[in-house]
Structure 1
Amino acid sequence: MSETFVIPIESNPEVLNKFLIKLGVSEDFSLTDVYGLDPDLLAILPQPVLAFILLFPCSENYYNHRHEENEKLKEKPQKIPENLFYMHQFLRNACGTIALFHAVLNNLEKIQLKDGAMKNFYEKTKNLSPEDKGRILENDQEIIKIHQSFANEGQTEVPNAEDKVYFHFIALTRVGDNLMELDGTRKIPINHGKTSDETFMFDAAEICKKFINREKNDCRFTIMALAASCDQ
């Protein structure tokens, strides 16, 4: 089976918000840049904050940490919320789109889905396994077409779909009272422990800091918050 590629999408709130609207996500919530992880800078984010989207470099340090974390989880399995929406990534370079789907589809008690590509995908896949969800996305030509159209809108030079990408998107969001790290390239989601509406953005910031602190000489990180739209 040949691998399916898409063009990597840029970490750009302006582009990604248009992308979400095209997918059928209501405009009550939108993405905004996170300019710092200190409490004072987090406090200026529109409220409520439902998720963080983290873009980070795929370094040797990261993969070493990931291996160690996987080994620990084999020895001590974690609790996974029953109502979690989680899918695997088979569509190459689609990690940004998958992170957005993870952020939105785990917050449907607050975010409205209009008729459109994301709602159709959710209704088809909500009761399926993470693998089956990912396989359906891999072949969803409507979503792929929308992704490709917005991947061409960023401010940076558009790479070829086949080029190796050295950065990766994940989502951090609250599911019940759990802080979940959702990465479609991993077999399982990661439960980082208890959180709440009031503490989520501070707890998620601590997870982001751990990613950043593993890369002492690399500042190529961006963080966006999925939060209440300022004009709502």
Structure 2
Amino acid sequence: MSDSGWNTIESDAGVFTELIETLGVKAVQLDELLTLDPTSLSALAPLYGVIFLFKWTQSAASQTTDGGVYVPEVEHEIFFARQKIQNACATQAILSVLMNREEIKLGSALDEFKSFTTGFDGELRGETISNSDLIRSTHNSFSRPTPFVDESIAPRTATDDDDLYHFIAYVPISGTLYELDGLQPAPISHGPCTDDEFPEKVVEVLYRRIARYDASEVRFNLLAVCADRRELWSNIGDFERLERENEKRAEWRRENILRRENFVGLIAEMLKYVVDDVVEKGGDTAFEGIIDQAKEKSAQRYLQSKT
């Protein structure tokens, strides 16, 4: 797979929420789950699907369906796309949820994309995603600046020692729980599943997948694709939760702005200033004093922010 033109983006609920909003999706957000249990998922209803992040290994990938069965996506009217771009798997997994839930308001751009790819098989849909200027540019707008990347290093064959991570989607579609993984040849059905049953049944499937790994492996992450909590709390008049949600969104926005900035120049200038100041004031002793002063000022600012 070629990943030319697609950058790595951070696995973060705030990143993915702003990404889909930039694409035009309305009233949908992603939330990170801290525990893997049906109750936590049920609390996020209405819940459209989940995105599962895990460390990819050859040994774990050798077992494929976790008890499910492959189904033809066109016959079952499922939006499924094979993964053609390595760095796009997160965005592709999110699209797998969005495109398969009719109640989601995709916006004009994604509505047009979905209509255009109707009837395509997984291979052609994967190629269409990889060639979409809109999806690629939106995806790349959330990548961190990487001024020290060596472009001459060729991709290596992945081994279990490499830190490679993969995203897949689990979605209830027309009464069936589907696993949508772009590295698989087709969607995987995990049996009958209503929206109400989804939290319990998807957790069972996820535990079977986690069981492929050694007990020491803990690098998993689960993101819920759910309705915008701000609208929910506003509609029921829960203004305390609404305020907390607005604060969380403001923090997401701040973090996303900072992610786009390249602070290498600023850090270099600060280091030059510190080194010059240390030399002028007497070496290591002065350096320790500067650190102590910085710690004291940081502590004061923290205390002031809490008052």
TM-score scaled by structure 2?
0.65
Q: 2: distance between equivalents of 1:79 and 1:101?
A: 19
Distance change >3 Å, CA 148–CA 78, structure 1 → 2: closer
Q: 2: distance between equivalents of 1:145 and 1:32?
A: 23
Q: CA deviation at 1:110?
A: 1.4
Distance change >3 Å, CA 158–CA 130, structure 1 → 2: farther
Distance change >3 Å, CA 38–CA 2, structure 1 → 2: closer
Aligned to 1:101: 95
Residue 150 of structure 1 pairs with residue 149 of structure 2: no
More helix by share: 2
Contact 2:41 2:224 in 1 (8 A): no
Q: CA deviation at 1:123?
A: 2.1
Q: CA deviation at 1:132?
A: 1.0
Aligned to 1:128: 120
1:6 aligned partner, one-letter code: W
Q: 2: distance between equivalents of 1:31 and 1:185?
A: 23
Structure 1 stretches of 4+ with a deviation exceeding 4 A read 76-81, 157-165
List runs of 5+ in structure 1 lacking aligned partners.
Answer: none
Distance change >3 Å, CA 185–CA 114, structure 1 → 2: same
1:145 aligned partner, one-letter code: S
Q: Which of 114, 117, 133 is 2:107 aligned to?
A: 114
Within a 5 Å distance, the mapping from 1:67-216 to structure 2 comes to 69=65, 78=71, 82-107=76-101, 109-116=102-109, 118-152=110-144, 166-215=164-213, 216=215
Q: CA deviation at 1:163?
A: 5.9
Distance change >3 Å, CA 160–CA 104, structure 1 → 2: farther
Contact 1:36 1:42 in 2 (8 A): no
1:129 aligned partner, one-letter code: D
Alignment size in residue pairs: 221
Q: 1: distance between equivalents of 2:10 and 2:22?
A: 16
Within a 5 Å distance, the mapping from 1:49-60 to structure 2 comes to 49-60=47-58
List runs of 5+ in structure 2 lacking aligned partners.
Answer: 157-162, 232-307
Q: 1: distance between equivalents of 2:193 and 2:149?
A: 38
Distance change >3 Å, CA 159–CA 20, structure 1 → 2: farther
Q: 1: distance between equivalents of 2:187 and 2:208?
A: 17
Q: 1: distance between equivalents of 2:16 and 2:150?
A: 19
Q: 2: distance between equivalents of 1:17 and 1:160?
A: 30
Secondary structure, counterpart of 1:93 in structure 2:
helix
Aligned to 1:20: 20
Q: 1: distance between equivalents of 2:119 and 2:37?
A: 38
Q: CA deviation at 1:57?
A: 0.6
Contact 1:137 1:143 in 2 (8 A): yes
Contact 1:79 1:191 in 2 (8 A): no
By relative contact order (CA 8 Å, sep 6+), the higher-ranking structure is 1
Identity %: 27
Aligned to 2:222: 223
Q: 1: distance between equivalents of 2:78 and 2:16?
A: 23
Distance change >3 Å, CA 13–CA 60, structure 1 → 2: same
Contact 2:17 2:28 in 1 (8 A): no
Distance change >3 Å, CA 60–CA 41, structure 1 → 2: same
Q: 2: distance between equivalents of 1:3 and 1:34?
A: 29
Larger Rg: 2
Distance change >3 Å, CA 159–CA 31, structure 1 → 2: farther
Contact 1:179 1:191 in 2 (8 A): yes
2:223 aligned partner, one-letter code: M
